A = this chain, B = another copy of it.
């Protein structure tokens, strides 16, 4: 453990908080300092179930965590509809904010959060974990290689899982007052982020949702998809769903190569991951086969991707705390662009699948 690690508080005991609590413990520059729930009993149970050491303070309210002077940063895994209230509260109390995705119900809400973080000089980052896997960096290098991949022409991504009946009836992600963005916010967020990541965060010009959306009885999206087009006619498509078997595909097609993986959000295994790269392929004589086949590029991960995310966030917080740097502006910008595209998909759906210009 580094000296003076960043001390995290967690507000809310969502399932995902278990994973990030573990990550905070694993990251060498951070430590878990406090956990808060609206119910002290729930917080105690959560601490016991996850084997937190006695040094972790347990609070019966979110405010108590935010008021604790020994907390440097908070991780916020609350339902999306509570993000503005609690992320702004945290920023106002000078806590750095690691916010679970989707960041907000819309970009206007997200701007309230980002403005609060900017005013307070605290770091903001969203919880898109796969961004921090070393595979992601390796893929970026492959994509940037003009001789192996060339110019990016199209992208297809999926983020789907077959939710159980219990989830489809009671999970917060299907409740309009909790996570009103449904599958688009929970699963589509990853696809949109992957698409923007691949395009160096250039916003598309046109977003047109597919005329195929499943809603639940309360009007929450259970599955949808969209096409996105850039000025250079690059095109991306994605499909997100609570109604299809687990899939996390990211397929990137350049004019010299193509790159594919099926587990971009949660790698099949924690310690290493791979992607597939096909480069310079042509058809053999008479088109009886291919000259080049896909090659597997495997990347070891020294820490789980969640721990790498926490480590990166804590590193930025340290440089603010210890070196008087300003907050890194890139991560908030990346979140904002993701939210902007997500909003455009939602708007296109609301407009009856009309193309929306960005």
Seen from chain A, the residues whose Cβ lies within 8 Å of a Cβ on chain B are 18-19, 22, 150, 153-154, 156, 158, 160, 162, 206, 208, 210-214, 223, 225, 227, 229, 233-235, 237, 239, 241, 243-247, 249, 251, 253-258, 260, 262-263, 266-270, 278-283, 286-290, 293-294, 304, 353, 355
| B residues near A255, Cβ cutoff 8 Å | 162, 243-245
Tell me the number of copies of this protein. Answer: 2
Output the nearest chain B residue to A160 by Cβ-Cβ distance: B253
| B residues near A22, Cβ cutoff 8 Å | 286
Candidates B212, B241, B244, B246; contact of A227 at CB < 8 Å: B212
Candidates B153, B212, B270, B290; contact of A233 at CB < 8 Å: B212
| B residues near A19, Cβ cutoff 8 Å | 286-288
Distance in Å: Cβ of A259 to nearest Cβ of chain B:
10
- Are B289 and A266 closer than 8 Å at their CB atoms? yes
- Are B244 and A267 closer than 8 Å at their CB atoms? no
- Are B212 and A211 closer than 8 Å at their CB atoms? no
- Are B249 and A251 closer than 8 Å at their CB atoms? yes
Candidates B18, B213, B246; contact of A290 at CB < 8 Å: B246
- Are A258 and B233 closer than 8 Å at their CB atoms? no
Output the nearest chain B residue to A257 by Cβ-Cβ distance: B245
Candidates B150, B247, B251, B288; contact of A253 at CB < 8 Å: B247
Distance in Å: Cβ of A234 to nearest Cβ of chain B:
8
A sample of 25 inter-chain contacts (CB < 8 A) reads A154-B225, A154-B241, A154-B244, A156-B156, A156-B251, A162-B255, A208-B208, A210-B227, A210-B235, A212-B234, A212-B235, A225-B237, A237-B237, A237-B239, A243-B255, A244-B254, A245-B254, A245-B255, A245-B256, A246-B258, A246-B283, A246-B290, A251-B251, A266-B287, A270-B288
Measured CA separation A225–B211 after assembly (Å): 14
Measured CA separation A289–B233 after assembly (Å): 36
| B residues near A263, Cβ cutoff 8 Å | 290
Measured CA separation A101–B125 after assembly (Å): 51
- Are B211 and A229 closer than 8 Å at their CB atoms? yes
| B residues near A278, Cβ cutoff 8 Å | 245-247, 262
Measured CA separation A355–B266 after assembly (Å): 35
Output the nearest chain B residue to A155 by Cβ-Cβ distance: B239
Measured CA separation A243–B315 after assembly (Å): 42
- Are A156 and B239 closer than 8 Å at their CB atoms? yes
Measured CA separation A282–B163 after assembly (Å): 10
* A22, A156, A234, A353 — most chain B CB neighbours (10 Å): A156
Candidates B18, B160, B280; contact of A286 at CB < 8 Å: B18
Q: List 11 additional contacts besides A206-B212, A243-B255; criterion CB under 8 Å.
A: A19-B288, A22-B286, A150-B162, A153-B245, A210-B227, A244-B258, A245-B278, A247-B278, A249-B251, A251-B251, A269-B289
Distance in Å: Cβ of A211 to nearest Cβ of chain B:
5
Measured CA separation A225–B290 after assembly (Å): 24
| B residues near A223, Cβ cutoff 8 Å | 153, 233
Measured CA separation A353–B229 after assembly (Å): 12
Distance in Å: Cβ of A236 to nearest Cβ of chain B:
9
Measured CA separation A210–B233 after assembly (Å): 10
Distance in Å: Cβ of A282 to nearest Cβ of chain B:
7
**Given A22-B286, A260-B262, A286-B19, does the pair A153, B244 have CB atoms closer than 8 Å?**
yes
